[in-house]
Structure 1
């Protein structure tokens, strides 16, 4: 039902988004570095719940919308490419801070950690636009049920995001200390992620 190129496209976009500095990464890094890995994992569970909310809400609405107005896919594709390009600039612009410079945070209860992870993701404009403007451009109306395609592609994005974020949570403490002593490595991280987002933006725009 879904072409391999669509899956690979979502994987590429998901990697570029999850590896670029944003509210989710900053929250998970700060909690993991400041309160330990267990706090980071609980926070990540909240982030995962936020992804599921977006997955269901966005696809139920998009299935009806695209069936009524297929031409909207072109507008959504352009909007998604523009957003990725803007995100690339924010990552690459001079003076930008790396997410791995997170400082100390006061400890919180597991319930609050989960809730804050959920709210951080639900209020993250990057994730909202990802589900509304980026992932839908990989949906093909002649490949079967739009709703199932959207859920499957969204599931791919969630799997990529959770695996990468889990790795970040487990390594946050040591990685933050390592990179904070090496400014050149921080710049290299920003350059690599910003460049990847820019390439993805151009690819979406011309496809």
Structure 2
């Protein structure tokens, strides 16, 4: 039997009813996961500001002990000793396998040598760092002790597990002190990784264009 995700309560309705439904979700999450320590309010509200969301191409990570890792180590050693041209074949192996850092190094080396190939590698590297500004699905305002949930989710058939995850995530912000420079500390992440339905919720949000911890430094 295939499990069907429950839609969020009050998909469309008057504001007071919808906010009451959100409050019920907050109360449930607060009791079940935080022993009722959370004192935040909650409302359907467009989060203020935007975050930078990664939309680029993900490159490979070199595995220690692999041939490509050895090639990159060799290239690094050659570069450190000033033997730049000798490093190019080793970096090319890694770049052709879609290793971003190798592409960046090659673009610098070719540009220094006056070779137009630098443009090809620079353009290829830039695909790995593309980002856009996006409004997050939820945010916590510490000065108001308020959790804002994007009202667009109230218009979508949003599964309940997604709202529970968002509420849990924002509750962690009240529980764990953070700053604008470092909104997600190690302590925060320890709590956040215990969120109910986390992986499913992240995937659902990402498919619909919302930034998440995996694609942005979201709220």
**Same-fold call, TM > 0.5?**
no
Q: Which one has the bigger strand percentage?
A: 2
Q: Which one has the bigger helix percentage?
A: 1
Q: From the CA coordinates, give the structure whose radius of gyration is larger.
A: 2
What TM-score results when the alignment is normalised by the length of structure 2? 0.24
What TM-score results when the alignment is normalised by the length of structure 1? 0.25
